[in-house]
Amino acid sequence: MADGRVPSAQSGENLLFLTDEQLRQGIEAMFFAYRGFTADPDRILSDMAYGRAHHRAVHFINRAPGTTVNNLLNILGVTKQSLNRVLRTLIEDGLVESKVGKADKRERHLFLTEEGHALEQKLSDAQRVRMRMAYREAGPDAVAGFRTVLEAMMDREMRNAYGRLKDSGT
């Protein structure tokens, strides 16, 4: 257990003998890959006064236009105060529009402005370029496996949120 080696780890057909070492490699792969994954948008954002949090907000508002603050909160998994700071600057800068709800006036429905869409496009273009290259390099089967493992790695609530978004986009 200390070393992570398993005496005789034959690669069974459906049984998975997973050594600590194999899992550790997966952990490190996640770490390094996520760094690459965020590197391109981060570069773009650092030139502006924005950060990764702004990116996330813009992404999901674009993805689900008219979503409420509370909704966004649940998806992003941060406190409303944290999100609010980000949202405020985005609204002040004219990238996001906040409309008071018609049915429930407590709610604010969020939309991207023209300018907001432009930023979203710019950021996600950068991210998609890398994603596309990785997908092409790895091939379709690998991509399917990639997605399967990622889904299995999510918390349950997030798996649900992800599923809803996925379906809405089709």
Chain contacts with DNA (rule: CB under 7 A): 45, 49-55, 68-71, 73, 77-88, 98, 101, 103-108
Cβ neighbours of residue 38 under 8 Å, at least 6 residues apart? 52
Judged by beta carbon distances under 5 to 8 A according to partner kind, the member of its own copies, DNA, none in contact with residue 36 is its own copies
Question: Which residue lies nearer to its own copies by CB, 98 or 121?
Answer: 121
CB of 124 to its own copies, least distance (A): 7
> Could you give the CA distance from residue 45 to residue 15 in angstroms, rounded to a whole number?
45
Question: Which residue lies nearer to its own copies by CB, 16 or 103?
Answer: 16
Judged by beta carbon distances under 5 to 8 A according to partner kind, the member of DNA, its own copies, none in contact with residue 85 is DNA
- 3-state SS class at 13: coil
CB of 50 to DNA, least distance (A): 6
How far CA 11 is from CA of 2, 6, 8, 17, 21, in Å, comes to 22, 12, 9, 7, 15
- One-letter amino acid of 61: I
Judged by beta carbon distances under 5 to 8 A according to partner kind, the member of DNA, its own copies, none in contact with residue 113 is none
> Could you give the CA distance from residue 45 to residue 52 in angstroms, rounded to a whole number?
7
> Could you give the CA distance from residue 108 to residue 86 in angstroms, rounded to a whole number?
15
CB of 155 to DNA, least distance (A): 14
Judged by beta carbon distances under 5 to 8 A according to partner kind, the member of its own copies, DNA, none in contact with residue 34 is its own copies
- One-letter amino acid of 42: D
